[in-house]
Structure 1
Amino acid sequence: MSNLDSIVGHGSALHREARDWLLCLTSGQATARDANAFKQWCGQSRAHAQAFAETRLLWENLGPAARAVSQRELSRTTPPAEGEPVRDESRSPVAIPARMSRRAFLGAAVAASAACLLLRPPLRLWPGWSDWMADYRTDTGEQRQIQAAPGVVVEMNTQTTINRLASRGQQLGMELVSGEVQIQTAAQLAEPFTLLAGAGHVHLPPGTQCNIRCSDKQVQVTGLDGTTELVYRGRKVTLQAGERVSYSEQTIAAVTIVDTELAMAWRRRVLIFDNQPLSEVVNEINRYRPGKIVITNGTLAARKVHARFSLNQLADVATLIHDAFDARVTSLPGGIVLLS
């Protein structure tokens, strides 16, 4: 095995296929058919998914040195001469340039900056690739209801991504990758419904309603009706209506009492803020409107806010903040607004 193979995912067949998929999906020419084919490839086994995740991680972390390699490689690349054998692309999971070597992949991984924009968009101005590949997703400002299973209704809030959990064709539950959902289980449900969120498993027995939010690997579970059970790294936490527990990958907080009306406000297309810093308010508002509001003044960011916004008002929210705090508003292309 060459040193280069060891860098590019150990040189295994799966990692080479994952590299080919990554090049295809970030080429700017990927189609819906490519997306479906990739989903089938990735779903063949945990090893397939892991190979792609490792290859994508390499893509995101390659340094500037690879850019120079790319330029040298591309400058030497010439079209095949007449009569020269051409790679049979029909046998490859995706079509890639016939002369694309692993060294070129290293350079292309950095030089093709569109890849990083696709996988991790700046300021979340558009959906990332994981969003597009999800079983269910909502766009900015969109809310959606799905029937997750017989007797299980899931209300999806804005910027929410959900995947089905299945084994051998049997659905085991769902995974909340990011965003916010409210789940209602029917009283006649035969067994609890399970939702994976971060490091925890949320179990909803029949006749239960709860709200689950997952943002930046921080998860909040709020009981709304009935009894909700959270299993976090072997520890069980039971929530009644009006109780909330928060956790991350590393730790779990104590159960607290919350106002369920606030937790359910988004279902009425309303945002309610009670003595929260403006920075938190803006972060929440950004989930519902196109573009991005950015606070550039620390003092302004710390100002406390008591407010109630209809989601229909959010197009004018910068003006409302200007009027309330005498903030300077600078509008930029792409819906980006600077507050100072």
Structure 2
Amino acid sequence: MPILDHMAHRRAALHKEAQHWLLRLTSGTANAHDARAFEHWCGQSPAHMEAFAETRRMWENLGPAAHAWMAGERTRAAAQSNRTATWPRMSRRAFLGAAVTASAALVVMHPPLQMWPSLSDMAADYRTATGEQREVDLGQGIVVQMNTQTTINLRKSEGRMSGIDLLSGEIQVKATGVADGPISVYAGGGRIDVGMMGKCNVRCDDSGVQVTGLDGATTLHYQGQIAVLKAAQRADYNNGSVGQVVPADVEATMAWRRRVLIFDGQTLTEVVREINRYRPGRIILANDGLATRKVQARFSLNQLADVAALIKDAYGAKVTSLPGGIVILS
């Protein structure tokens, strides 16, 4: 095989392997075995790392294309439902092409390692990017502070806002003195009613919904259960039940408003998971011995670029930096 043809073949093979890694590392739940295997793959040569970086950039640019693809699929689905004739058999090439397109759309809808917004995020009324925080005045006396990686939609009735859907992330909701009445936040299958002049913090993630009362009265409704929170009280709900109302650490809960993260006895696994919400790329903890270590720390969000080095100094972890902002701690 000519040298140039061999190089082109090898480059194509590396990009195919990189695409498989993007799919394998989906959702940010890669385990220690995956992290070590990925580290080994990237460490084989600079060409491996460059292939992964190029593949990631390619997927990032799929957003507009995926929107168009999904619109086309909806049109084709509608046309199919009206047909009565037997469909012709799909060729192998057409089948493979459809599979590749579907895989591309899947990666856009469920981004590997959450390294870019999903389609649902991009279509939301309001969203914040990784590390971004913003204030949104929704009118009608309602002000929402949005933390990093947060997505919300607005419910409207007769042209007026009737509620907020928190799809993911964390918000602080405040009903000012000019609010028309209580405002409802819908999250994780439940409803949180924020009373007049009330304020609360709501976080919705894979572990469930955590609600902290900050001012006034906040009422939770979840699968027939009700809990009322006063200021500095917290309750969580998930998996069909509402937890007990307990005193809240308001300083830790609201530290994000001061662009600070406070950890008081959390495991290093929990710390890394939280830090990943605020920094581009992903930190992957691949050392089972470090995963359960308890952490007492306070980080400014401006420090997060150096957080891997801080963990290395504190716990002796080996730090490996890879393309796409991925850092492996082993």
Q: Do these two structures clear the TM 0.5 threshold for a shared fold by scoring above it? A: yes
Paired residue for 1:113, among 83, 99, 103?
103
Paired residue for 1:318, among 305, 308, 312?
308
CA contact 1:71–1:107 (8 Å) conserved in 2: no
Q: Which amino acid aligns with 1:30?
A: P
**What displacement does 1:297 show?**
1.2
Paired residue for 1:30, among 64, 67, 87?
64
Structure 1 gap segments, 5+ residues each: 1-25, 39-47, 53-68, 75-103
Residue by residue, what CA displacement relative to the aligned partner does 1:94-152 show, whole Å, maximum 9, x if unpaired? xxxxxxxxxx5x96145542111100011101111111010000000000100123211
Quote the residue 1:11 is aligned against.
none
Quote the residue 2:18 is aligned against.
none
CA contact 2:225–2:242 (8 Å) conserved in 1: no
**What displacement does 1:167 show?**
3.4
Residue by residue, what CA displacement relative to the aligned partner does 1:236-278 show, whole Å, maximum 9, x if unpaired? 2100111111111432211121211111100000000001100
Under a length normalisation based on structure 2, what TM-score does the superposition of the two structures give?
0.72
What does residue range 254-293 of structure 1 map to in structure 2 within 5 Å?
254-293=244-283
Percent identity of equivalent pairs? 53
**What displacement does 1:198 show?**
1.0
Under a length normalisation based on structure 1, what TM-score does the superposition of the two structures give?
0.70
CA contact 2:211–2:235 (8 Å) conserved in 1: yes
Q: Which amino acid aligns with 1:213?
A: R
1:300 aligns with 2:290: yes
CA contact 2:140–2:180 (8 Å) conserved in 1: no
**What displacement does 1:168 show?**
4.4
Quote the residue 1:16 is aligned against.
none
1:173 aligns with 2:173: no
Residue by residue, what CA displacement relative to the aligned partner does 1:169-228 show, whole Å, maximum 9, x if unpaired? 332111000000011111342310111011211111111110000002610000011111
Q: Which amino acid aligns with 1:177?
A: L
Change (3 A) 1:197 1:32: same
CA contact 1:217–1:249 (8 Å) conserved in 2: no
CA contact 2:198–2:218 (8 Å) conserved in 1: yes
Structure 2 gap segments, 5+ residues each: 1-59, 79-88
Find the residue that maps to 1:140 and give its secondary structure. Answer: coil
CA distance in 1, matches of 2:298, 2:181: 38
Quote the residue 1:333 is aligned against.
323
Query: What is the aligned residue count?
Result: 258
Change (3 A) 1:28 1:273: closer
**What displacement does 1:231 show?**
1.0
- Aligned-CA RMSD value: 2.8
Quote the residue 2:193 is aligned against.
203
**Greater length-normalized contact order (CA 8 Å, ≥ 6 residues apart):** 2
Change (3 A) 1:171 1:31: farther
Q: Which amino acid aligns with 1:315?
A: A
Q: Which moved more, 1:318-327 or 1:160-169?
A: 160-169
What does residue range 221-232 of structure 1 map to in structure 2 within 5 Å?
221-232=211-222
CA contact 1:70–1:107 (8 Å) conserved in 2: no
Quote the residue 2:92 is aligned against.
72
